[in-house]
Structure 1
Amino acid sequence: MAGSPTARRRRLSIELKKLREKNSMTCAQVGAALDWSGSKVNRMETGSGRVQPSDVEALCRFYETTDELREFLKSLARQAKTRGWWQVHGSGVPEWFSIYIGLEQDASTLRQYQSEVLPGLLQTEPYVRELHTCGSYMPPADIDRAVQVRLERQAMLSGSGAPDCWFIVSEGALRRVIGDRALMRTQLEHVLEAMEKPSMTLQVLPFDAGTCPTTGPFTMLGFPDPEDPDIVYRDGITDAMYLEGEPHVREYTRAFDELRASALSPRRTIQLINNVVKEHTR
Structure 2
Amino acid sequence: MAGSPTARRRRLSIELKKLREGHGYTCAHVGEALDWSGSKVNRMETGTGRVQPSDVDALCRFYGTDDELREFLMSLARQAKTRGWWQAHGSGVPSWFSIYIGLEQDVSTFRQYQSEFLPGLMQTPAYAVELHRATNQMTAEDVERAVRVRMERQAILSRPDAPDAWFVVHESTLRNVVGDRSLMREQLERVLNSMELPSVTLQVLPFDAGPYPATGPFTLMGFPDPEDPDIVYRDGITDAIYLEGADDVREYTRAFDNLRAAAASPHRSIQLITSMLKDYAR
TM norm structure 1: 0.99
Counterpart residue number, 1:216: 216
Q: Deviations over 1:64-119 (max 9, x none)?
A: 00000000000000000000000000111001100000000000110000000000
Counterpart residue number, 1:109: 109
Counterpart residue number, 1:190: 190
- SS for the counterpart of 2:70 is helix
Q: How does 1:194-273 map to 2 (within 5 A)?
A: 194-273=194-273
- SS for the counterpart of 1:208 is coil
- SS for the counterpart of 1:112 is strand
Counterpart residue number, 2:168: 168
Amino acid at match of 1:68: E
| Offset of residue 135 of structure 1 | 4.0
Counterpart residue number, 1:59: 59
Unaligned runs of 5+ in 1: none
User: Which shifted more, 135-144 or 272-281?
Assistant: 135-144
- SS for the counterpart of 1:106 is coil
Counterpart residue number, 2:179: 179
Counterpart residue number, 1:77: 77
In 1: Cα distance, 2:267 partner to 2:277 partner: 16
| Offset of residue 209 of structure 1 | 1.2
Counterpart residue number, 1:31: 31
Q: How does 1:119-158 map to 2 (within 5 A)?
A: 119-158=119-158
| Offset of residue 159 of structure 1 | 2.5
Q: Deviations over 1:112-136 (max 9, x none)?
A: 0000000000000000001001242
Amino acid at match of 2:274: N
- SS for the counterpart of 1:111 is strand
In 2: Cα distance, 1:131 partner to 1:159 partner: 26
Aligned length: 282
Q: Deviations over 1:157-212 (max 9, x none)?
A: 11311111000000000110000000000100110011011110000111111221
| Offset of residue 18 of structure 1 | 0.3
In 1: Cα distance, 2:27 partner to 2:198 partner: 46
| Offset of residue 156 of structure 1 | 1.0
Counterpart residue number, 1:5: 5
Amino acid at match of 1:70: R
Amino acid at match of 1:235: D
| Offset of residue 215 of structure 1 | 1.7
User: Which shifted more, 49-58 or 207-216?
Assistant: 207-216
In 2: Cα distance, 1:134 partner to 1:54 partner: 45
Amino acid at match of 1:256: F
Amino acid at match of 2:2: A
In 2: Cα distance, 1:52 partner to 1:223 partner: 25
In 2: Cα distance, 1:57 partner to 1:145 partner: 38
In 2: Cα distance, 1:74 partner to 1:3 partner: 15
1:274 partnered with 2:274 = yes
Amino acid at match of 1:17: K
In 1: Cα distance, 2:214 partner to 2:66 partner: 48
Counterpart residue number, 1:93: 93
Amino acid at match of 2:164: D
Unaligned runs of 5+ in 2: none
Counterpart residue number, 1:18: 18
- SS for the counterpart of 1:202 is strand
In 2: Cα distance, 1:158 partner to 1:82 partner: 25
In 1: Cα distance, 2:231 partner to 2:272 partner: 31
In 1: Cα distance, 2:112 partner to 2:206 partner: 16
